[in-house]
Amino acid sequence: MSADAISWVFEATVKPGSMNEYVSMALDISKSCEMEEPGQEIFEWFANDHDVQIYERYSNSATALSHVERFVANFATHFLSLCTPTRMSVYGAPSNDLKAALTGFNPRYYAQFAGYVRDRGAWPH
């Protein structure tokens, strides 16, 4: 991971009877973020029955903070009506402003101490 990059895994449990609406909402949010947030490098949603995880990666704290602010303003009410957050793990060195914006999700912070990122530019997408 680059020195400035921020990523996280957000986990939640989708409320009974809400999975179809949750998936539809996830597709809408993903499309919106892809169009409006160029600093968001990865935005992937995964499910195991009603347990879901969202993996997100941002080029830096500023782009991550911009996403959080935009998410809260446009999607949070609907999102939280369909699921119950269970865990958030944040990777990298987020700014104090980003930490403040994430406080409501009670995140755990992890500092990187080893590893690398492959240049995927040559890989097929």
The domain tally of the chain equals 1
The verdict on residue 72 lying in a domain is yes
The verdict on residue 120 lying in a domain is no
The verdict on residue 84 lying in a domain is yes
The verdict on residue 1 lying in a domain is no
CB-based contacts of 104-107 (< 8 A; 24+ apart in sequence): 105/10, 107/8
The verdict on residue 125 lying in a domain is no
Alpha-carbon Rg for the chain in angstroms = 15
Looking at residue 122, its pLDDT comes to: 54
Is the pLDDT score of 95 beyond 70? yes
| Domain extent for 62 | 6-111
Confidence of residue 98 (pLDDT cuts 50, 70, 90): very high
How large is the angle between the packed helices 19-36 and 61-74, nearest 10 degrees?
130
The rounded percent of the chain whose pLDDT value lies above 70 is: 94
pTM for the predicted model, two decimal places: 0.91
Residue 29: which CATH number?
3.30.70.100
φ/ψ (deg, to 5) at 31: -65, -45
What span, in angstroms and rounded, lies between the C-alpha atoms of 57 and 89? 12
pLDDT in tens, 43-76: 999 999 999 999 999 999 999 999 999 999 999 9
